[in-house]
Amino acid sequence: MDLPRFVAGLFAFAVVTVGAGSSVAAGHPAVPGPAPAPSTVSAPAGPDVTLRLGQEAAVQGKDLTVRYTRLVADSRCRPGMQCIWQGEATLAFLLKQPGRGESTTAELHSGFRTGPQATSFAGSRVELVSVSEDGGEATVRIS
């Protein structure tokens, strides 16, 4: 291999490498960073509250937050389709008592066939009331 071609190739490699690094500085990270903090809504105990995926509700008057963390499974009948069984969605929630540092996770179901629709934590009941068609929003009742 001749030296001028080797040096030219090395120079081209360096330019590409430095150029790729500059995209990180420009705000386009090559590797995803930590997940953003969830948005929090204040919710009174009792009435239904709708949470977007990743959003949490801080329950007024209680040491409790409820975060909709993910759509675990969704076998519901899609709009415009005819289905023999309605199906159901399974959603995961993170329940926390920030003042005590306690937390637990719960999977709640939109139907009654395969799992619970409600759970209890920190002296409160959290019930899944409904799920949007795309699973991006969950309505819960906290009492």
Question: CB of 52 within 8 A of CB of 137?
Answer: yes
Confidence of residue 10 (pLDDT cuts 50, 70, 90): very low
Residues 67 and 92 in one domain: yes
Residues 50 and 119 in one domain: yes
- Token couple for 74: 């969704």
* Closest to 140 in 3D by CA, of 81, 89, 68: 68
- The percent of residues above 70 in pLDDT, for the chain, comes to 73
Residue 112 sits in a domain whose CATH number is: 2.60.98
Q: Is 22 helix (H, G, I), strand (E, B) or coil?
A: helix
Chain Cα centroid distance, residue 116 = 20
* Closest to 43 in 3D by CA, of 27, 26, 56, 30: 56
pLDDT at 107 over 50: yes
CA distances from 136 to 28, 54, 69, 139 (A): 26, 9, 10, 10
Residues 67 and 103 in one domain: yes
Q: How confident is the model over 17-45, as pLDDT tens digits?
A: 333 333 333 333 344 445 556 699 999 88
Residues 16 and 72 in one domain: no
Residues 58 and 109 in one domain: yes
| The predicted structure's pLDDT at residue 2 | 60
List beta partners, residue 51.
138
Could you list the residue range(s) of the whole structural domain that residue 66 is in? Answer: 40-142
| The predicted structure's pLDDT at residue 86 | 82
Residues 18 and 84 in one domain: no
CA distances from 39 to 1, 13, 22, 44 (A): 58, 42, 31, 17
| The predicted structure's pLDDT at residue 98 | 95
Let me know the angle formed at the C-alpha of 124 by 119 and 125, rounded to the nearest 5 degrees. 35
Helix or strand (DSSP H, E) at 91? strand 89-97
Residues 75 and 48 in one domain: yes
When comparing pLDDT for 110 and 1, which is higher? 110
pLDDT at 14 over 70: no
Residues 49 and 100 in one domain: yes
Q: How confident is the prediction for the chain on average, in pLDDT?
A: 81
pTM of the complete model: 0.72
Structural domains counted in the chain: 2
Residues 50 and 4 in one domain: no
Amino acid at the residue 122: A
The average pLDDT across 41-55 equals 93
When comparing pLDDT for 84 and 31, which is higher? 84
